[in-house]
Chain A
Amino acid sequence: MKIDVAYVSELARLELSDEEKSLFQTQLENIVGYVEKISEVDVEGVPPMMHGHDTVNAFREDVVGESLPAETALANAPKRVGDEFLLPKIVEGAES
């Protein structure tokens, strides 16, 4: 099983160094080779298990509750301006 580590790291938004790429290449192919084992199991008609128990649709009343004040939510921001998180320009040609 050949994994395109460069492509997957782009999907994951995670830059890897050349050393990491070649190390992960071997290690991940070993791990994937190991987990391939599940292909031998007959799963015909078996439902997937999504969680640790069978509860589905845990509803609660749709009421206004307490939420974090903006200042608290922004307190850990790496960069901010007023009540907003500051980011590099996203849209080409737009004013940042």
Chain B
Amino acid sequence: MELYELGVKEAQEGLAAGDFTAEDLVKAVIARKNAADGEVGAYLTFDEEHALELARLNPRSVPIAIKDLINVRGQPCTCASKILKGYVSPYDATVIAKLKAAGFIPAGRVNMDEFAMGSSTENSGLGVTRNPYDLTRVPGGSSGGSAAAVGGNLCIAALGTDTGGSIRQPASFCNCVGIKPSYGRVSRFGVTAFASSLDQVGPMTKSVEDAAILMKALAGHDEHDGTTPREEVPDYVKALEDASMKGVKIGIAKEYSNVTGLDPEVKRITDEAVKACENAGAEIVEVSLPHTEYAMAVYYIIAPAEASANLARFDGVRFGHRSEKAVDVFSLYCKSRAEGFGAEVKRRIIMGTYVLSSGYYDAYYSRAQKVRTLIKRDFDAVFQKVDALLTPCAPTPAFSFGEKQDPLTMYLNDLYTIPSSLAGVCASSVPAGFTADSKLPVGVQFVCGGFEEAKLFKISKAFEDISPVKAARAF
């Protein structure tokens, strides 16, 4: 086995045994990137000297690929946007500081949809990323670079972010494990904001155990992020020791089955996953999330509204692109933003500004926040009855480039991941199979209650043990 094929746990064991050093690992990842990333395009930039220096200073550390919206001091942080070309981070995001303290080093910056807005990474302003399992298809998004790097064995593990499915859907498309932590479980300090009431950083890995190891490092209170409670972080790795499906109550939401546009192969793989859980001792319970049909609408009000406010900071004044054509401050804002942002970002800024504008706020944003409460209550009620929900991760496997031209069609790709994002609960994507005809990876989603990550890891691991496929291994 090549070093770049290792997961986090295997790498840590090898480092501890003295089989190799962090420098060896980084060199192996760089060599792999140089050999294979030309066609995949997972990485936007890779400061080899920086990664090697960190590896020499921390010889027992594991390199992690970082989604390009998380700040690493002294490194670029472009959010895959032309508006941030040339930007150099002045400080480490809390997740980076925590990773460093726990024996990890940032190595390489991976592609994404611009400002995390998209489901295919086609919205990147800086590069194309292809699905390592089929180069004619997208890797999913917005954490498409992270997923392609993990699924294609171009890194040991990666960090992604998830606002409405941006970790889980690409993980499903690229055959890796992805964790969307509960809202507030992981600090957002130093992570470029898209929709602040939804954004979370999470691990994308080659196994559930690797994800648990990384989550243990990432989770917890941060005084720089007021939305991270001082709630104790359980030992997620230890929680895996007695992982089992026996007696686990798995909910199947009736609103999620037979959705229009659900690919028959995704349905087959999901049904087989349910059967496998049942055979392994889980109890399958039909449940209802009655407000599911409103989740997409709520999300496409709240997320653009928050994005339009967050992206106001890109005004050409303190950092980022500044237009040469400006004659006064007003045109400096308008032109710098026009030249710097791509189409999807502009569309969402306009949408968000519209729903927040005078006369429309109550009908849209305020009303959407109330419907969001009802969606959360659906989840609260369901988790009184079951330990976890099992759903498809995305309605289809990876689709072809340019296949979804209409924004609304693209948005509907996230219909299984958006409701749990709105509810603020935690969820995972675990590899579950390959489509029969085109051999594309398909993951299933497990959803647990808020701050129930230990349970989520346990159930995800129990499923991984019975799943017919292993992450990142078929490539």
Enumerate chain A interface residues (CB-CB to B < 8 A).
Answer: 3, 5, 8-17, 20, 24, 27-28, 30-32, 34-39, 41, 43, 46-53, 55, 58, 60, 68, 72-73, 75-79, 85, 87-90
Contact with A along B323-335 (1 / 0, CB 8 A): 0001111111111
CB distance from B367 to the nearest CB of A (A): 6
**Are B408 and A31 interface neighbours, CB within 8 A?**
yes
Distance in angstroms between the alpha carbons of A9 and B357 in the assembled complex: 11
- Asked if residues B183 and A52 are in contact (CB atoms below 8 Å), the reply is yes
**What's the minimum C-beta distance from A42 to chain B, rounded to whole angstroms?**
9
A-B contact pairs, 13 of them (CB 8 A): A15-B331, A15-B335, A28-B354, A31-B300, A36-B297, A48-B372, A49-B369, A52-B198, A52-B424, A52-B450, A53-B424, A79-B322, A89-B329
Bound complex: CA A58 to CA B296 (Å): 30
Tell me if B407 is interfacial: C-beta within 8 Å of chain A: yes
Contact residue among B328, B338, B424 (Cβ-Cβ distance under 8 Å from A14): B338
Give the contacting residue for B90; candidates A17, A52, A75; CB below 8 A. A75
**Chain A residues in 8 Å Cβ range of B347:** 24, 27-28
Residues of A with C-beta under 8 A to B406? 27, 30
Quick one: which of B90, B338, B374 contacts A72, CB cutoff 8 A?
Answer: B90
The 8 Å CB contact of B350, one of A5, A48, A73, A89, is A5
Q: A46-B373, A87-B332 are in contact. Are A52 and B184 (CB under 8 A)?
A: yes
The reply to whether A76 and B320 contact each other, CB–CB distance below 8 Å, is yes
Query: Given the interface contacts A20-B346, A28-B350, does A88 sit within 8 Å of B338 by beta carbon?
Result: no
Residues in A neighbouring B353, C-beta threshold 8 A? 8-9, 11-12
Q: Which of A17, A39, A55 contacts B367 (CB 8 A)?
A: A39
Complex: chain A residue closest to B312, CB-CB = A13
CB-defined contacts of B317 to chain A, threshold 8 Å? 78, 85, 87
| Most A CB within 10 A of own CB, among B293, B296, B367, B406 | B367
**Residue of A9, A39, A52 with highest tally of chain B CB at under 10 A:** A52
Give B contacts to A, CB under 8 Å: 86-88, 90-91, 182-184, 197-198, 223, 226-227, 229, 291, 293-294, 296-298, 300-301, 308, 312, 315-322, 326-335, 337-338, 341, 343, 346-347, 349-351, 353-355, 357, 363-364, 366-374, 376, 406-408, 411, 423-424, 450
CB closest residue in chain B, given A69 = B90
- A39→B293 CA distance, assembly (Å): 13
Pairwise interchain contact A13-B343, C-beta atoms closer than 8 A: no
**Do A14 and B351 touch across chains, with their CB atoms under 8 A apart?**
no
Contact B319 A48 (CB under 8 A): no
Q: Contacts A52-B183, A78-B320 hold; do A38 and B368 have CB atoms under 8 A apart? A: yes
Determine if B183 and A51 form an interchain contact, defined as CB atoms under 8 angstroms apart.
yes
- B334 engages A14 (CB within 8 Å): yes
Contact assessment for A41 and B291 in the assembled complex, using a CB-CB cutoff below 8 Å: yes
Q: Taking the nearest CB of chain B, how far is it from the CB of A28, in angstroms?
A: 6
Q: Is A13 a contact of B373 with CB atoms below 8 Å?
A: no
Indicate if the CB atoms of A48 and B182 lie closer than 8 Å: no
In whole Å, how far is A90's beta carbon from the nearest beta carbon of chain B?
5
| Chain B residue at minimum C-beta to C-beta distance from A12 | B353
Interface of A is mostly: loop
Q: A35-B300, A39-B367, A46-B374 are in contact. Are A12 and B321 (CB under 8 A)?
A: no
* A37→B297 contact, CB < 8 A: yes
B90-A37 in contact (CB<8A): no
- Assess the A43–B349 pair: CB atoms within 8 A: no
A16 and B346 within 8 A (CB) = yes
Please, which residues of chain B bring their CB within 8 A of the CB of A85?
Answer: 317-318
Chain B residue contacts of A8, Cβ below 8 A: 350, 353-354, 357
**B364 and A51: CB pair below 8 A?**
no
- Which of B223, B321, B328 interacts with A60 by CB under 8 Å? B223
Q: Is there contact, CB below 8 Å, between A13 and B370? A: no
> Are A50 and B369 touching (Cβ within 8 A)?
yes
Given known A-B contacts A14-B349, A27-B347, A88-B328, A47 and B298 have beta carbons under 8 A apart: no
* Residues of chain B lying within 8 A (CB to CB) of residue A90: 328-329
A53 touches B227 (CB 8 A): yes
- Give the distance to chain A from B323, nearest Cβ to Cβ, in Å: 9
| Given contacts A87-B317, A87-B329, A88-B326, A41 and B371 within 8 Å (CB-CB) | yes
On chain A, the residues within 8 Å of B227 by CB distance are 51-53, 55, 58
Q: Give the distance in Å from the alpha carbon of A24 to the alpha carbon of B347 in the complex.
A: 7
Cα–Cα distance between A7 and B370 once the two chains are bound (Å): 28
A8-B350, A51-B183, A76-B87 are known contacts. Are A15 and B424 too (CB-CB below 8 A)? Answer: no
* B residues less than 8 Å from A47 (CB atoms): 370, 373
Name B297's contact: one of A9, A34, A58 (CB within 8 Å). A34
Alpha-carbon distance A57/B355, docked complex (angstroms): 27
Residue of A nearest to B425 (CB): A52
CB distance from A33 to the nearest CB of B (A): 9
CB contacts (< 8 Å) of A20 on chain B: these are: 343, 346
Q: A50-B369, A53-B450 are in contact. Are A41 and B90 (CB under 8 A)?
A: no
Contacts of B320 in A (CB 8 A): 76, 78
A-B contact sample (7 more), CB < 8 A, given A35-B301, A51-B197: A12-B349, A24-B346, A38-B371, A48-B372, A51-B184, A78-B316, A88-B328
Cα–Cα, bound, A91→B227 (Å): 39
Q: Are A52 and B350 neighbours in the complex by a CB distance under 8 Å?
A: no
